[in-house]
Structure 1
């Protein structure tokens, strides 16, 4: 029971955090047009498409993890989203988040892989539906799938403008 409560707390920390990030991309200060401009500045092309895909992926993955439904799939999306963030927005800024570094996104991705390894706990839809999608293999699959998805996105869509210096 302690593990079930602990995994619920992990899910309630990760899932709603990512949902609000996706929500903010759509309805935050600059809305989708602001997110599109930001993605354009990061070098993601076409920025209008990536702004929408990122928002939907964040909300969807956050919901899956929050509910404990297809948890390893949600974890893979977390890894992919955080890997893209590390390679674009946090690139070249070191480790620590207070300098814009990768600390936060690495932590989120690693906790997501840990969640795929341990599973969402008994207080989840995976458990209620009898889905046993946790363990070493699922954790490795979440990490590899997330990184592969991020790599594919970067190869096909990352086109930063050359610096003028």
Structure 2
């Protein structure tokens, strides 16, 4: 495979990264709010964990679809930064020891999407006529 072929696929792979990250993030919200897949807690309505689940459910769905991707990614990147510093960082300085590596990865992938956009396979791209 030549470098030109790989470069041609870069925008599509941005869409794949967005979709897969959004699906994994959506799963966290579904588990918190809808108890699916089983195993999550069911937080009290309007509690901080409930708002977290709501942002994960709605933000994850918007990111999967590529609809309002940049603002949705900005909000959930912020949520993940707050989650890291509130829930993980107090446990231990090192992310591998405090369980916060997932929150950090989500935060930076979403921050990347704020600047890179959704890629060609998205509702945003379709609406803008760019691809």
TM range (shorter): 0.7 to 0.9
- Deviation at 1:29? 2.8
Which TM-score applies when normalising by structure 1?
0.63
Q: 1:48 to 1:6 in 2, by over 3 A?
A: same
Q: Where does 1:55-94 land on structure 2 (aligned, <5 Å)?
A: 55-92=53-90, 93-94=92-93
Deviations 1:35-76, CA, capped at 9 Å, x for gaps? 45xxxxxxxxxx852232211110111011111111111111
Q: 1:83 to 1:131 in 2, by over 3 A?
A: farther
Partners of 2:59 and 2:115 lie apart in 1 by 17
Matched-pair contact (CA < 8 Å) for 2:83–2:103: yes
Which TM-score applies when normalising by structure 2?
0.78
Structure 2, unaligned runs of 5 or more: 1-7
Q: How many residues are paired up?
A: 119
Structure 1, unaligned runs of 5 or more: 37-46, 133-165
Number of the residue aligned with 2:120? 122
Matched-pair contact (CA < 8 Å) for 2:88–2:95: no
Deviations 1:120-142, CA, capped at 9 Å, x for gaps? 1111100111188xxxxxxxxxx
Correspondence 1:23 to 2:22: no
Number of the residue aligned with 1:145? none
